[in-house]
């Protein structure tokens, strides 16, 4: 694909006619004390989560290893402005806009349904690389897995209600109960339209520039089955990096340091020629 055709995909004429409504965006950050030339990472939380989910552990740890770290709360989540009518396009717009405002070309990291948002944003923003953490890439197969694990929290989503995941789905038994309750108590909900698009499996366009993509997760995830991790990785021509014994929320679980270190090691070992 030529540079001009990729630019045409990033800037779509019909999106100018139907612009995404602006909203206040919450962005948390942790900056290294010494500049080491590493690309910035932009962390994107899943539905119901905010930037706080990365601020607990991953932002500070990423900065301690020399990478500038940022986390955005999607509209309607965390400290960002309300957006009851938001859809996946609006969420992807938030990610692309925040990434475009960073000092250097960013690595996009999406968790859960945030991985689907990142996949859509990759068609609009030429990321340096991308990491999909426990990705919920949509479709009824993903919904079925969640339904089997938590029918009372999942079924209402079909009728416009909130999708509520249980502590048992999100965390391993290693995480202290007090921490699990505290994190679960901070969860919100996504907009109904975006939630429905997740269930119906809105397919993202191809990524601009074909950046390298890493998929990581846990074979013991009660939200995303191991087979879904494998399918997601194959979509990007790779195999998933797995962390047995962990729950869906890898960034908050007891052994949170293992996946973030593996992610950063991957970035160090697979540098790109972009600036």
CA dist 254 → 13, 60, 257, 267 (Å): 46, 16, 8, 23
- What digits encode the pLDDT tens for the residues 235-261? 999 999 999 999 999 999 999 999 999
pLDDT digits (tens, 9 = 90+) for 73-109: 999 999 999 998 899 999 999 999 999 999 999 999 9
- Tell whether the model's pLDDT for residue 200 goes beyond 50: yes
The CATH classification number of 3-269 equals 3.40.50.1820
Domains of the chain by residue range:
3-269
Phi, psi of 20 (to 5 degrees): -75, 135
Contact 57, 117 (CB under 8 A): no
């Amino acid at each position: 694909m030529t540079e001009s055709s990729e630019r045409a995909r990033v800037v779509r004429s019909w999106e100018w006619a139907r612009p995404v409504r602006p909203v206040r965006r919450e962005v948390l950050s942790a900056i290294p004390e010494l500049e080491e030339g590493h690309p910035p990472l932009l962390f994107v939380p899943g539905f119901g989560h905010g930037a706080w989910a990365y601020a607990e552990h991953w932002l500070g740890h990423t900065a301690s290893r020399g990478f500038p770290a940022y986390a955005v709360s999607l509209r309607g989540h965390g400290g960002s402005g309300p957006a009851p009518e938001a859809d996946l396009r609006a969420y992807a717009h938030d990610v692309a806009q925040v990434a475009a405002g960073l000092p250097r070309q960013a690595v996009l990291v999406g968790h859960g349904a945030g991985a689907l948002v990142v996949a859509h944003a990759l068609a609009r923003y030429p990321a340096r690389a991308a990491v999909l953490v426990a990705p919920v890439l949509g479709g009824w197969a993903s919904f079925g897995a969640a339904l089997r694990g938590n029918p009372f929290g999942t079924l209402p989503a079909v009728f416009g209600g909130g999708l509520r995941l249980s502590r048992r789905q999100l965390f391993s038994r290693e995480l202290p109960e007090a921490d699990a309750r505290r994190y679960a108590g901070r969860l919100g909900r996504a907009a109904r339209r975006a939630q429905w698009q997740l269930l119906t499996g809105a397919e993202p366009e191809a990524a601009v520039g074909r950046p390298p993509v890493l998929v990581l997760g846990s074979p013991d995830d009660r939200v995303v089955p191991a087979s879904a991790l494998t399918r997601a990785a194959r979509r990007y021509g790779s195999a998933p990096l797995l962390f047995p014994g962990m729950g869906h929320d890898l960034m908050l679980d007891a052994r949170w340091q293992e996946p973030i270190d593996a992610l950063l090691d991957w970035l160090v070992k697979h540098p790109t020629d972009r600036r």
